[in-house]
Structure 1
Amino acid sequence: MQKAVALKYDFSTAPTVVAKGNGLLAEKIMAVAKENNVLLHQSPELVELLSTLELGEEIPESLYLAVAEVIAFAHKIRDHQW
């Protein structure tokens, strides 16, 4: 079953879970992300860990490095698109 977790990062606090879901809800989350040019990163292991968090919860320190790498990758891709 498809899973999705959306994070919000404003550079002032740790990334926060703003949406998560399975199946049709996961597909909707990904569709909204695509419509808004938000990078979709596929990592089943990371999604599994992030999906255990509650909505509005900041990611734990143990996931900082993994999420930071995804954010850095997203910025690198964006920089090359222009």
Structure 2
Amino acid sequence: MVEGSKPEQKTEPVSTPNAEQKAVAIKDSSQSGTMPRVVASGQGTFAEQILQIAWANGIRVREDADLVEVLSAIDIDSEIPIEAFAAVAEILAYVYRANAGQIPIDELKENNR
């Protein structure tokens, strides 16, 4: 999950959606041998809904305004373009390390919403 257009890191969901906020959800498909895909994308209230679903399901959320701009232009269920793959791979590696307990809790609190 990637989101952008928010200047500060927050640890809890915001109560009033920012009309400029964007969020994109990606699904790692590496086990099936395909590139990760965009599975949800939205702005404003839709972005807030994507984030709420992620938080409710314990999905890690990272803020990256530049990447969310690139990914939000991609059609739903489309593969991540090769140009964005390095940034997406970095986020997926972070999530794998976090899920394996290899990232200090303080860093998780800073980066996970």
- CA RMSD of the aligned region, Å? 1.1
Higher helix share: 1
Identity %: 40
C-alpha deviations, 1:1-32, integer Å up to 9, x for none? 11000001121210101100000100000010
Pick one of 56, 61, 67 that aligns with 1:35. 56
Runs of 4+ in 1 over 2 A off after TM superposition: none
Q: TM-score with structure 1 length normalisation?
A: 0.94
Q: What's the TM-score, normalizing by structure 2?
A: 0.69
Which residue matches 2:29? 10
Q: Which deviates the most, 4-13 or 20-29? A: 4-13
CA–CA distance in structure 2, aligned partners of residues 61 and 10 of structure 1: 14
Q: Which has the larger radius of gyration?
A: 2
Residue of structure 1 equivalent to 2:99: 78
Give, in whole Å, the separation in 1 of the partners of 2:25 and 2:38.
Answer: 6
Contiguous gaps of at least 5 residues in structure 1: none
Give the distance between the partners of 2:22 and 2:29, measured in 1 at CA.
24
